[in-house]
Amino acid sequence: MNLSFSIQDKNLIEGLRSQDRKAQQWLFQKLNRKMFALCNRYIADPYQAEDVMMGGFMIVFSKTDQFSGEGNLEGWIRRIMVTQSLQFLRKSKTMEVVRYDGGEEVVEENSTAFTANLDYEVLLRLVQQLPMGYRMVFNLFAIEGYSHPEISEMLSISEGASKSQLFKARALLQTWVLDLQKTKLNQKN
């Protein structure tokens, strides 16, 4: 098998469906860092995140026949990794989302670029410090691109709770970033 194919290559998908080890190895090598980073955004412990990622790849390799081929293979794999991460958090009883079922609408602030000058590792550490509910909703909305109705279904919360968690996560991150910037300014002076 030619190992120069792309993620959308029909040969790759056929190889995965026929359990071809070279195709599986190529895909793993191509995506393992991205998928680890995805799992690690949800699961702060890198060893547990790696275990979840490996379990996710096992599902990918055993259920490739369920991929319709119509969409993006990487997107399909990302959804599996997100689902595996959320299942891990549920099983480990660390997934706690504050339920917001009040009648009032939570107004989302406009997306700000307060993280524009931050190093990726610093931002990742800040996101991992968020309370679990905030972190999950922030990751699902801001990074994975899920809508509030989708998040509400995935986490079994109301759309208002999803919006509230995102708003609070952004506010907390913004406070932490401003504190970091103040600290850096004080160190320079």
Q: What is the pLDDT of residue 31?
A: 95
- Residue that has been written with the tokens 């997100």 in this structure: 82
- Are 59 and 84 in contact by the 8 Å Cβ rule? The answer is yes
CA dihedral sign, ordered 107, 147, 6, 30:
positive
Q: Considering only 5-9, 89-93, 173-177, 178-182, which range has the smallest mean pLDDT?
A: 5-9
- The long-range contacts involving 63-71, CB below 8 angstroms and separated by at least 24 positions, are 64/13, 64/16, 64/17, 65/17, 67/13, 69/10, 69/13
Q: Three-state SS for 79?
A: helix
Question: Does the pLDDT value for residue 1 go beyond 70?
Answer: no
Predicted local distance difference test score (pLDDT) of residue 114 = 46
Of the pLDDT bands very low, low, confident and very high (cuts 50, 70, 90), residue 8 is: low
Which domains are present in the chain?
10-91 (1.10.1740.10), 120-188 (1.10.10.10)
> Among 8, 135, 145, 6, which residue's Cα sits nearest to residue 68?
8
Q: What is the pLDDT of residue 39?
A: 94
pLDDT tier for residue 155 given thresholds of 50, 70 and 90: confident
In tens, the pLDDT along 96-130 reads: 554 444 444 333 433 344 444 567 778 878 888 88
pLDDT in tens, 12-62: 899 999 999 999 999 999 999 999 999 998 888 999 999 999 999 999 999
What rounded mean pLDDT belongs to the chain?
82
d(CA 178, CA 113): 12
Predicted confidence at residue 111, as pLDDT, reads: 38
Q: Look up the pTM and report it.
A: 0.69
Distance, in Å, from the CA atom of 137 to the CA atom of 102, rounded to the nearest integer, reads 18
Q: Which of 111, 139, 119 is nearest to 44 (CA)?
A: 139
Looking up tokens 């679990």 gives: 132
